[in-house]
Amino acid sequence: MTAQAPSPEIVTYTADLSICSQICRLVLEEHQLAGIRDVEVDIEYTMENYEAWFVRIQPKMTVPVMQYDGLYVGDSKEIMYFVAQRHSQLGLYPPAYRGPIDAFIDDFYNHFRLVGAFTFGHLQVQHGEPMQRFVRRAKTTVTTAKLRALLRQPEFETAARARLEQIAQRDLARMTEPGILTRADRAMTKLLAAAQTQLARGGGPWLMGPAYTLADVVATALLARIHLIKGQAMFTPPLIKYWERLQARPSFRSASVCSTWDDTAMSVHFAAFSKDSAAC
């Protein structure tokens, strides 16, 4: 009798609202890997990604990060392929579909910056000036203070200085400009159209036909993000049915996919921030 290979030791560092973190959690849940320990990293309020303990793990100061049997993988796209290739018996990256899977995934990541603009631009418009102050506090005030603290530690000085220079050149208010939001909406419409085209081409319940693949992992996170901001307003009837199938998968719940504002930890932090601001 062949001995069963021991389960890998996996620790993930993710943030609930982060679309890349959701991709990481989804791909691990879909691969049915047991004993995963997830460490929640707050990147929207206390900005834990700029604290020394996290920067030692991930010098880029971004989530997600996966520790797999002591090996660190620090990018959601790399994590997807790494896990799919290490556990190929689950079939999420089948050889026959690798071309269209890669094309769909690349298209998503090529539009990644506009996914962020779509998210935070619309949230600031929807929730008004209090949300603008909330985002500015976390992404500028708290972030800058934590990076300046890192500057005082020689091991982090170079990375912290580079990040501070990036922040100095960033204008969060631009995300609410109509032109930026229009570009972001068009990009999301384009990605949705690509998903619908692939559904039709595949002829099955999933993007590649009968097989649920890495492309569906990315599509789940994408549709969840669009639903969080716009509900089903941007979904066509075929995409609504596809969205319902995605939500019915056990991984959707176990991976804590955020598809409504109330799903997010950010909504709780924002409510507390708004209450405190009103009391001042």
d(CA 252, CA 219): 12
Return the number of other C-beta atoms located less than 10 Å from residue 64's C-beta: 24
- Considering only 110-114, 123-127, 232-236, 272-276, which range has the smallest mean pLDDT? 272-276
CA 261 to chain centre: 15
What number is the average pLDDT over the span 163-177?
90
Residue 172 banded pLDDT, cuts 50, 70, 90: confident
Identify the DSSP state of 155. G
Q: What's the pLDDT at 3?
A: 46
Task: Write the pLDDT tens digit of every residue in 199-222.
Answer: 999 998 999 999 999 999 999 999
Q: Which domains does the chain have, with CATH numbers?
A: 10-91 (3.40.30.10), 101-137+171-279 (1.20.1050)
pLDDT above 90: percentage of residues in the chain = 91
Contacts of 152 (CB under 8 A, 6+ apart): none
Q: How far is CA 173 from CA 77, 125, 140, in A?
A: 29, 10, 12
Q: Is 247 exposed, middle or buried, given 0-12, 13-18 or 19+ CB atoms closer than 10 A? A: middle
Half-sphere CA count of 205, side-chain side, radius 13 A: 10
What number is the average pLDDT over the span 227-242?
98
Q: What's the pLDDT at 278?
A: 75
- 67 within 8 A of 37, measured Cβ to Cβ: no
Ramachandran quadrant class, 228 (left: phi over 0; alpha: psi -120 to 50; beta: rest): alpha
d(CA 87, CA 206): 20
What number is the average pLDDT over the span 134-151?
97
Mean pLDDT (the chain) is 95
The H-or-E segment that residue 53 falls in is helix 52-57
Has residue 4 got a pLDDT over 70?
no
What residues pair up with 72 in beta bridges, in sequence order?
Answer: 67
Q: What's the pLDDT at 1?
A: 40
pTM: 0.95
Residue 280 banded pLDDT, cuts 50, 70, 90: low
- 61 within 8 A of 50, measured Cβ to Cβ: yes
- Mark 113-148 as b/e (b = at least 16 C-beta within 10 Å): ebbebbbbbbbbeebeeebbebbeebbeeebbebbe
What number is the average pLDDT over the span 109-127?
96
Task: Write the pLDDT tens digit of every residue in 52-78.
Answer: 999 999 999 999 999 999 999 999 999
Has residue 43 got a pLDDT over 70?
yes
Task: Write the pLDDT tens digit of every residue in 246-256.
Answer: 999 999 999 99
Has residue 24 got a pLDDT over 80?
yes
Q: What's the pLDDT at 154?
A: 97
Sign for the CA dihedral angle at 92, 103, 78, 262 comes to negative
d(CA 86, CA 189): 33
Identify the DSSP state of 209. B
d(CA 112, CA 80): 16
Q: What's the pLDDT at 2?
A: 43
What number is the average pLDDT over the span 26-48?
96
Number of residues written out for the chain: 280
Q: What's the pLDDT at 171?
A: 85
